[in-house]
A and B are shown apart, each in its own frame.
Chain A
Amino acid sequence: MDRREFVKAVGAASVASFALGDLIKLSGVKASAVEATSEKWDKYRVGQRTPSICPYCAGGCGLIVTTLGGELVEIEGDPIHPINRGALCSKAAATFQLVSSDRRVLYPMKRTNPNKGKDEDPGWEQITWDEAYQLIGEKVKDALEDYPYKHGDDYYYNGKDNPISWLGSSYWNNEECYLGRKLISLLGSNNVEHQARKCHASTVAALASTFGFGAMTNHIVDAKNSKCFLIVSNPAESHTMEFKWVRAAIEDGAKVIVLDPRFNRTGSQAHIYARYRSGGEAAIFLGLIRYVLYEHPERIDEKFLEERTNAPYTIDGTGPLMDWKTNPDSVFSKLKALVDDYDPEEVEKISGIKEADFEQIAETFSSIKPGNIYYSMGTTQHTNATQTIRAQAILQLILGNMGKPGGGVNALRGISNVQGSTDMNLLSHLIMGYRAPPKTVDEIRRYQKWKNSDAETRGGYSGGATYTPPDKSTEQYDLRHFPTWNALEYHWGLYVGTWPGNDPDNEPVVCDLPVGLGNPIVQLFRAVKDGTIKVMICNGENPAVSVANANLVRDALSSEHLFLVVDELFETETAHYADILLPGTTQVERDGSITNTGRWIQWRWKAVDPPGECKPELTYLTELYQKIRATLKSAGIKLPSEKYEDDNTGVDVKKTIGTEEIQNDPEAAWPSRFGDSAEGVYKEAGAKSIQVGGVTLPQSAANVIYKNIYDLDLRPDLDGILAKRRDPNPVDLEDAEYGYYKNWAVSWMVNQRILYQKDESKKGVDYFFTWFAISPDKWLGYDKAAIFSKPLQKPGKADTNPLKHGMPLHNEPLESPDSALASKYPSMWDSRFKVGSPDEDLIGTPDDYPHVLTTFRLAEHMQAGAMTRNLPWLVETHPSMFVEMSPELAQDIGVSAGDDVLVKSARKPDGIKVKAMVTDRMQPITVNGKTVHEVAMPWHWGFKGISTGPSANEVTIDAVDVSANIPETKACLVKVEKA
C-alpha cells in the first residue's frame, strides 16, 4: 500500500471505526502504530458520543464526535442522519485534524509591526481578552466620537456613513449570527456583510422576486424523487453528499444533464454533458424557455400558470385575462415575445453549445418530469446573475416543476451555515428575516401610525394618529417590514417611532435601528480605502482571498486608518493585516443551530472544550458588546432614544405593551430575554408565541422566517428546541415515500420541506410569497409567482436591459470575449447602467486579454482555504495552485504540463504565477464564430497556511450585479502566457 492509499484508508477508517482492525491488517504498519491504534480503539469503545454537523459545505451532514474525559478521540459520519447516513466527504473526514490542529490560534494577540502588507510580519504578541476588549472598545468609541445622532429634529444614526463595519460569518451558528447583526445594529451601522453576498446574493434577489423566498425550494434528500436533473454546478465535488441523492435518482432511472465550462467530476456522471462559455448562462435558459413555448407548448403546465403565477395578468395587474395565452398584453405573451430571439442558433453563438446538443438538452429536460435544476456559483456570480436565475425559475414555473417532490430551483449553498447567516441578515440591505431596516424618516412616521392602530399589542400611543396606507404598494411594503421592526423593538430593547407618538407627522423621529442601507461588500472595501470606515470586525471570513479583485481588498486592509479585528481559527491572509487577532472555536466546541441549504435547522452539541484561551463565540459576542457599550456610554455615545432623553429633560422614552412598560434598555435584552445560552437566543429568534403584559406580540419571533422553531408545547422534552429533534423515522406514508423526515430537526417555514407544495403532509407555509403590489393599487394576493417582477422593472432603462421589461434577457459579462456580442447584449454593468465598481481602467478588453477565466472548487479544499490549507491530510491531496487549460491552448502558448505560467488580467497586469495543468477537461469553444479558450483556476489559495500560492481572486473582476451586488467572480478576461 503506498502513501496515498494509506491516507485514503485512514480517512475511510475515521468514518467507520469498527474497521480499524481491518485497517491494521491492510496497511501492514509496524507494531508501534498498531499499539497506538489499539489505544485509540480502546478509548473509542468507551467514549461519549455527541452529535454535530459538518462545518464545511451547506449539505448539513451529520457527524458523531467521540470524546473521552474531555479528549477528542474521533469524528465520523452519523449513521442515522438522513442526509449522509454515515458517509463523509474528504473534508468532513479531516475534521479531526481541524479541531486538533497545532496551528490554531490559541490566545488573543496584538500586532507589534505598525506596517501592514503581504510581506510584513505582524509581530504578534500575546495579550489578554480584557486587553483586547479594552482596545476594541476604545477604537469604536474614537471612531464614533463625532458621528451624528441628530438630523434636524430627528434622532437616528445613518446606517451607511457609520464608520464601524462587521464581516462574517457563515461558519457561525445561527444564534451567533443573530447576535452579530444585533450588535452592529446597536452601534448604528448597516455596514455589515458576510460570505452570502459573494455567493448567493443573486439567488436571494432572483428567487425572492419570483417566488417569495430566496432559498433552495426543495431539499437535499428530495433529489431522489427527481426524474431529470439540469445541473449547472459541480456537486460531486462541492456538495458531495447532496450528489449522493442524485446518484440515488440515477439508479432509479433519472437522467442527468450537466452544463459546465469544465468537464468535471459531476460531468463524468452525466447522461448529457455540454461545455459552455462562462457568461452564457442566461442565453441558455432563455433558449430553453423558448424551446418549450414555441416548439412544445403541450409541455406547458397551463393550469399551474393560470392558478399560481401572474402569467394571465397584464403587467399593471389587470386580469386574469380569459385569453391570456394569446392576448399580447398578458405577461405570458410578453415573455414569449421576449425570448423569441433565443433560438438554438443564437444560443450557440452566445454560449458555445452546439445547436444539436442544445436541442437534445431542451428536449430531454422539458419532456421528463419532475425536473430539477441544481445550480450554484456558475450561475450566481455574474453581473446578470439575478436575471439568469429568474430565467431558471420561470422555466420551472412554465413546466410546472415547482411545489412538488423532485422539482424545484435548487440553490446549492456553499458554507455550512450560509443559509442561516443569510436568514439572520448579516447584510447591508436587510436587518432580520429578509426585512429591510428603516430607510427614510417617512417610513418611521408611518410605522408609528401603524403602532398606534393597535397600541395595546404594538406599543403605540393610544389615541394617536393611526395608519392609513396611501396605496397598495406602500401597504404591502409596510405590512412586510413593520412587524419585524416591532419584534426587534421588544427583543433588542429599542425604541423605533416618533416621540411621544400621538402626532407622528410632526413629532421628532426617534429610531434606534440604523436608518438607510449600508455598503455591500465591494463598495464596503472602497469605503475602507476612502477612509469612511475606521473599524472592521471580521469573524470567520477571509476576504483577502475570497473577494474578487483581492488586491484592492488587501490595499484596503493595509490602510493606516483602519483598525482591524479578526476572530479566526488560524492566521489567515486577512488576519495577517489585523491589529487584533482573536482565537475562534470550531463547531464541536460550542452549542448552537445551523441551517443547511435545504433550510433544515439542525442543532450541534458541544463535545469538547476549546483549547488554549479560545472562547465560544457567544461568550465573545456578549463580552465584546458589554465592553463596547460601557465604553461608549462613558463617552456619552448612546442610542438615539437615550440621546433624546439626555437632550430633553424629564423625558423617559418607553412604550407600553398590554399592562407592561418596556424601557429602551438593550443591556437588559442582551443576549436574549430567554437567557444567556445559545438556547435562549434560539428561542428569541424563533418563538411561536410570546405574551407581554397579558397580550400576545403581533410577531413573537425576532426572525419571522424562523417562527415556530421554538415550540414548547410540541416538544417539552427538548425544551421546545425543535432543531434538536433526531428522529429519522418518517411520520407517515408520504414522508416515507418522498423523504421529508419531518421529525428530524425543523425546516423553515414552519417545517415545510418543499416550498410552495400545496398539499404537503403536515405542511407549513405552502404558498408563493411574492408580496409586492404589481401596481400602486393592485396586489394579486399571495400564491402568485412572478414571471413578471414589478420590483425588477425600471421602465426608463434601455431595451437591452432586462430591468426595462421586468423579465430576463441575456447580457454579456462586463469583460466579454466578443465585442460584437458585447455590443448586441451590453453588460448590465456598462456605462449606461453603471453602479459603483469597478474602476474604469481596471476593465480588460479581448485584444489584451483574449482568454476567458472561470474559477472552481476542489472537493478537498474549502472556499478561501482558511481551514483546509492548514490541514496536512487535505493539503496532501491538493498541494498547490494551478490553472487548467486545454492541450490546444498549451500548444498555442508553448507550455507543457507543470510549467510555470502567468495569468494576467486588467486587475493584475503583471499576473500571478501558477502551474499549468494541461488537461482534456478543458477544450476551446466557439463563441460567435470565433474560437475562445477558457481556463479555470481553483480559488482556494493564498499566502498563509501549510500550502500557499497566489489567489485566483487577484485577477478576477469585482463588477457587480446591480440587483444583488454580487461580484462577477465567474467570468473575466485574462491572458495566459509562459512565465
Chain B
Amino acid sequence: MTTEKLTSPPKAMSRISGYIYVSDGSRLKGAKVACGETETRTLADGYFVLDALVPGDLDVTANLQGFKPESKTISLHEGEEINLDFHLSKAKGTAGIHGYVYDAKSKKTVGKGGSIIIVLPISNKYGSIDKDGYYEFTNLPAGTYKILTSIQGYADNNATLKVNDAETKEHNFFCKTQNIEEPPWG
C-alpha cells in the first residue's frame, strides 16, 4: 500500500502599496521603499507598489536622502494587498561642510559671488560664496553629498563628500577660469 505524500500548496503572493508624503502634503518622487530584498521607488505622485511578497510579519522602510527614514511593521497574509502610507519629515542634522573657493591659477579666493549647490533628490541646497570666497552649509544630516560650484567666469567644479553626525568637513575648491563665449545676439 502506498500513500501519497501530501505537499502544501505554495503561498499566494501578496502586495503592499501606498503613498509617501512629506509634511506639507506633497508626494515624494523617487523615494526608496524596501521590504526585505524587494524594493522599489515611488512614482512622481508618490505611489509605490511592492509586489510578490511572501506573507508574514514584514518590515517596510521608506527613505530618501534629505528625509528621515521611516519603518513600519505589518502582518501580511496570503494574497492580501495592504495599503501603507508613509509621512516623511525633512532630516535635520548636525554635520556641516564649509570652505573657500580659489582661482586655480592665482590661488586667490574667488571673491565675486556665485553659488555652491548641494545636489539632493528633490530640492537642492544652495549656498552663496561671500566676498572672501567663503561658503558654509550647516545642519546637514550625516551622509554623502555631491557639491557643485556655479561661478560666472569659472568652469563648474564638483566634489563628493561624506560627513558624519556632528562632523564639520572643510573642502576647498580650486576653480579654473572658463571664458564662455557669449553668442552674439541676432
Question: Which residue of A139, A151, A158, A204 is within 8 Å of B44 (Cβ)?
Answer: A139
Question: Which residue of A139, A835, A963 is within 8 Å of B29 (Cβ)?
Answer: A139
Question: Which residue of B26, B150, B185 is within 8 Å of A160 (Cβ)?
Answer: B150
Contacts of A99 in B (CB 8 A): none
The answer, yes or no, to whether A48 is at the interface (CB within 8 Å) is no
| Inter-chain contact A205/B124, CB cutoff 8 Å | no
The answer, yes or no, to whether A399 is at the interface (CB within 8 Å) is no
Question: Which residue of A142, A214, A532, A791 is within 8 Å of B117 (Cβ)?
Answer: A532
The answer, yes or no, to whether B180 is at the interface (CB within 8 Å) is yes
Please tell me which stretch of B35-43, B81-89, B101-109 contacts chain A, meaning at least 4 of its Cβ atoms lie within 8 angstroms of it. B35-43
List residues of B (21-66) whose CB comes within 8 Å of A's CBs: 24, 26-27, 29-30, 40-45, 47-48
A142, B152: Cα distance in complex, Å: 26
The answer, yes or no, to whether A76 is at the interface (CB within 8 Å) is no
Known contacts: A110-B43, A114-B42. The answer to whether A208 contacts B185 by CB under 8 A is yes
| Inter-chain contact B178/A835, CB cutoff 8 Å | yes
Known contacts: A151-B113, A161-B115, A516-B152. The answer to whether A532 contacts B124 by CB under 8 A is yes
B115: min CB distance to chain A, Å: 5
| Inter-chain contact B184/A209, CB cutoff 8 Å | yes
Task: Kindly supply a per-residue 1/0 record for chain B positions 161-173, scoring 1 wherever the CB is within 8 Å of any chain A CB and 0 otherwise.
Answer: 0000000000000
| Inter-chain contact B123/A145, CB cutoff 8 Å | yes
Contacts of B121 in A (CB 8 A): 531, 560-561
Please tell me which stretch of A297-305, A343-351, A430-438 contacts chain B, meaning at least 4 of its Cβ atoms lie within 8 angstroms of it. A430-438
Contacts of B26 in A (CB 8 A): 138, 141-142
The answer, yes or no, to whether B181 is at the interface (CB within 8 Å) is yes
| Inter-chain contact A791/B124, CB cutoff 8 Å | no
A794, B180: Cα distance in complex, Å: 12
| Inter-chain contact A434/B186, CB cutoff 8 Å | yes
B185: min CB distance to chain A, Å: 5
The answer, yes or no, to whether B92 is at the interface (CB within 8 Å) is no
The answer, yes or no, to whether A803 is at the interface (CB within 8 Å) is yes
A789, B184: Cα distance in complex, Å: 10
Contacts of A142 in B (CB 8 A): 26, 122-123
| Inter-chain contact B119/A531, CB cutoff 8 Å | yes
Task: Kindly supply a per-residue 1/0 record for chain A positions 548-592, scoring 1 wherever the CB is within 8 Å of any chain B CB and 0 otherwise.
Answer: 000000000000110100000000000000011000000000000
List residues of A (203-235) whose CB comes within 8 Å of B's CBs: 204-205, 207-209, 213-215
The answer, yes or no, to whether A147 is at the interface (CB within 8 Å) is yes
Question: Which residue of A115, A144, A214, A835 is within 8 Å of B186 (Cβ)?
Answer: A214
List residues of A (97-153) whose CB comes within 8 Å of B's CBs: 110-112, 114-115, 135, 138-139, 141-148, 151-152
| Inter-chain contact A531/B43, CB cutoff 8 Å | no
Contacts of A204 in B (CB 8 A): 183-184, 186
| Inter-chain contact A561/B182, CB cutoff 8 Å | no
- CB closest chain-B residue, reference A115: B41
| Inter-chain contact B183/A531, CB cutoff 8 Å | no
The answer, yes or no, to whether B146 is at the interface (CB within 8 Å) is yes
B105: min CB distance to chain A, Å: 14
The answer, yes or no, to whether B14 is at the interface (CB within 8 Å) is no
A139, B27: Cα distance in complex, Å: 9
| Inter-chain contact A530/B148, CB cutoff 8 Å | yes
Known contacts: A436-B185, A563-B44. The answer to whether A146 contacts B29 by CB under 8 A is no
Instruction: State which size class the interface on A falls in.
Output: 35 or more
A111: min CB distance to chain B, Å: 6
B172: min CB distance to chain A, Å: 20
The answer, yes or no, to whether A65 is at the interface (CB within 8 Å) is no
List residues of B (116-133) whose CB comes within 8 Å of A's CBs: 117, 119-126, 128
A531, B147: Cα distance in complex, Å: 10
List residues of A (767-793) whose CB comes within 8 Å of B's CBs: 789, 791-792
B4: min CB distance to chain A, Å: 43
A386: min CB distance to chain B, Å: 8
Question: Which residue of A207, A436, A963 is within 8 Å of B181 (Cβ)?
Answer: A963
A792, B184: Cα distance in complex, Å: 8
A639: min CB distance to chain B, Å: 18
| Inter-chain contact A146/B126, CB cutoff 8 Å | yes
Contacts of A110 in B (CB 8 A): 43-45
Contacts of B24 in A (CB 8 A): 635
| Inter-chain contact A163/B40, CB cutoff 8 Å | no
B67: min CB distance to chain A, Å: 12
The answer, yes or no, to whether A725 is at the interface (CB within 8 Å) is no
| Inter-chain contact A579/B186, CB cutoff 8 Å | no
List residues of A (692-707) whose CB comes within 8 Å of B's CBs: none
B144: min CB distance to chain A, Å: 13
List residues of B (125-164) whose CB comes within 8 Å of A's CBs: 125-126, 128, 146, 148, 150, 152, 156, 158
A777, B46: Cα distance in complex, Å: 59
Contacts of B126 in A (CB 8 A): 146-148, 161
A531, B121: Cα distance in complex, Å: 8
B142: min CB distance to chain A, Å: 19
| Inter-chain contact B158/A530, CB cutoff 8 Å | yes
The answer, yes or no, to whether B8 is at the interface (CB within 8 Å) is no
The answer, yes or no, to whether B3 is at the interface (CB within 8 Å) is no
| Inter-chain contact A201/B185, CB cutoff 8 Å | no
The answer, yes or no, to whether B179 is at the interface (CB within 8 Å) is yes
A-B CB pair tally, cutoff 8 Å: 132
Select the residue from B42, B44, B115, B117 with max chain A CB neighbours within 10 A.
Answer: B44
| Inter-chain contact A422/B186, CB cutoff 8 Å | yes
Contacts of A561 in B (CB 8 A): 30, 119, 121-122
Contacts of A147 in B (CB 8 A): 123-124, 126
| Inter-chain contact B184/A963, CB cutoff 8 Å | yes
B160: min CB distance to chain A, Å: 12
- CB closest chain-A residue, reference B113: A151
Question: Which residue of A112, A148, A530, A835 is within 8 Å of B119 (Cβ)?
Answer: A530
Known contacts: A158-B115, A531-B146, A579-B44. The answer to whether A205 contacts B123 by CB under 8 A is no
Contacts of A145 in B (CB 8 A): 122-123
A253, B29: Cα distance in complex, Å: 65
| Inter-chain contact A964/B183, CB cutoff 8 Å | yes
A587, B24: Cα distance in complex, Å: 40
| Inter-chain contact B185/A480, CB cutoff 8 Å | yes
List residues of A (916-960) whose CB comes within 8 Å of B's CBs: none
B106: min CB distance to chain A, Å: 16
A480, B186: Cα distance in complex, Å: 11
A895: min CB distance to chain B, Å: 42
| Inter-chain contact A148/B128, CB cutoff 8 Å | yes
A679, B68: Cα distance in complex, Å: 51
A151, B117: Cα distance in complex, Å: 14
The answer, yes or no, to whether A20 is at the interface (CB within 8 Å) is no
A213, B184: Cα distance in complex, Å: 10
| Inter-chain contact A965/B183, CB cutoff 8 Å | yes
| Inter-chain contact B183/A429, CB cutoff 8 Å | yes
The answer, yes or no, to whether A890 is at the interface (CB within 8 Å) is no
A835, B180: Cα distance in complex, Å: 7
The answer, yes or no, to whether A93 is at the interface (CB within 8 Å) is no
- CB closest chain-B residue, reference A440: B152
A180, B137: Cα distance in complex, Å: 35
Known contacts: A135-B45, A208-B185, A531-B119. The answer to whether A579 contacts B125 by CB under 8 A is no
- CB closest chain-A residue, reference B48: A114
Contacts of A151 in B (CB 8 A): 113, 128
Contacts of A794 in B (CB 8 A): 179, 181
Contacts of A215 in B (CB 8 A): 186
A124: min CB distance to chain B, Å: 12
| Inter-chain contact B41/A560, CB cutoff 8 Å | yes
B119: min CB distance to chain A, Å: 4
A535, B24: Cα distance in complex, Å: 19
Contacts of B41 in A (CB 8 A): 114-115, 560
| Inter-chain contact A205/B115, CB cutoff 8 Å | no
- CB closest chain-B residue, reference A962: B181
The answer, yes or no, to whether A814 is at the interface (CB within 8 Å) is no
Contacts of B179 in A (CB 8 A): 794, 835
The answer, yes or no, to whether A394 is at the interface (CB within 8 Å) is no
9 contacts between A and B (CB under 8 A): A146-B124, A158-B115, A161-B117, A163-B124, A516-B152, A531-B120, A560-B121, A835-B181, A965-B183
| Given A147-B123, A161-B150, 4 further pairs, Cβ under 8 A | A110-B45, A422-B186, A561-B122, A792-B184
